Amino acid sequence: MKLTATMMLTLDGVYQGPGGPDEDRRNGFDRGGWTAAHADEGMWPFLTSMFERADALLLGRTTWEIWEPYWPKHDDNPIGHAINILPKHVPSTTLRDPTWQNTHVIGGDVEQAVRELKSRPGRELQVHGSGVLLRWLLERDLVDELNLRLYPVVVGDGLRLFPDQGQTHDLTLVDSRSLPSGVTLLTYRPAGRASFGSAG
């Protein structure tokens, strides 16, 4: 399976709490819900098409905990139904006996487990949100495609996908388009490490 990752980001690189004020208050974050002002009907076909390609999900523990109480109550649409029935793989050393259907805890060697999942037949192993996990996957060159939904907002606080200091990445732009709300959909293919030289 191809590992594809999808992330909602602000212009200043924040991924924390896109869906609502109380979604993710880690570190006292009080600026959640920054996608609300840029809702767009054009996003629904994009998301539906994306989940139709998924054969499994790979979710960080925090994202899984945000989704687990919500999606079982919203199984009446294609996205919710897909999320509920798809295998959900969650790296964690503390998650025990999850009751959400088709949840599988990865408790050992995460890199080996992800490589094994990728080696299985199928279309896409999808990562949604899961910023800490996504950064870890990128550092180990495990991501095959990176989809960024860039929102025209600067929140000035919160967890950022890329740290002030970290691994370099070169990316090839595969597709880009804008929605009427101002959200830009960007699809990249990782292309190794960044190179450096003189601009002239």
pLDDT in tens, 11-56: 999 999 999 999 999 999 999 999 999 998 889 999 999 999 999 9
As for how many domains the chain has, the answer is 1
Q: Return the CATH number at 89.
A: 3.40.430.10
Asked, for residue 110, whether it belongs to a domain, the answer is yes
Question: What pTM value is reported for the model?
Answer: 0.93
Asked, for residue 199, whether it belongs to a domain, the answer is no
The backbone torsions φ and ψ at residue 145, rounded to the nearest 5 degrees and listed phi first, read -150, 135
Q: What is the 3-state secondary structure (H, E, C) of 132-161?
A: HHHHHHHHCCCCCEEEEEEECCCCCCCCEC
Asked, for residue 195, whether it belongs to a domain, the answer is no
Asked, for residue 197, whether it belongs to a domain, the answer is no
Asked, for residue 198, whether it belongs to a domain, the answer is no
Q: Is the pLDDT of residue 145 over 80?
A: yes
pLDDT, mean over the chain? 95
Asked, for residue 45, whether it belongs to a domain, the answer is yes
Supply the pLDDT for residue 199.
Answer: 86
pLDDT tens digits, one per residue of 83-96: 999 999 999 999 98
One-character DSSP codes across the chain: -EEEEEEEEETT-B-S--S-TTS--GGG-----TTGGG--TTHHHHHHHHHHTEEEEE--HHHHHHHTTTGGG--SSHHHHHHHHS-EEEE-SS--S--STTEEEE-S-HHHHHHHHHHSSSSEEEEES-HHHHHHHHHTT--SEEEEEEES---S-S-BSS-SS-----EEEEEEEE-TTS-EEEEEEE-SS-------
Asked, for residue 88, whether it belongs to a domain, the answer is yes
Asked, for residue 165, whether it belongs to a domain, the answer is yes
Q: Is the pLDDT of residue 200 over 80?
A: no
Q: 183 lies in which domain range?
A: 2-190
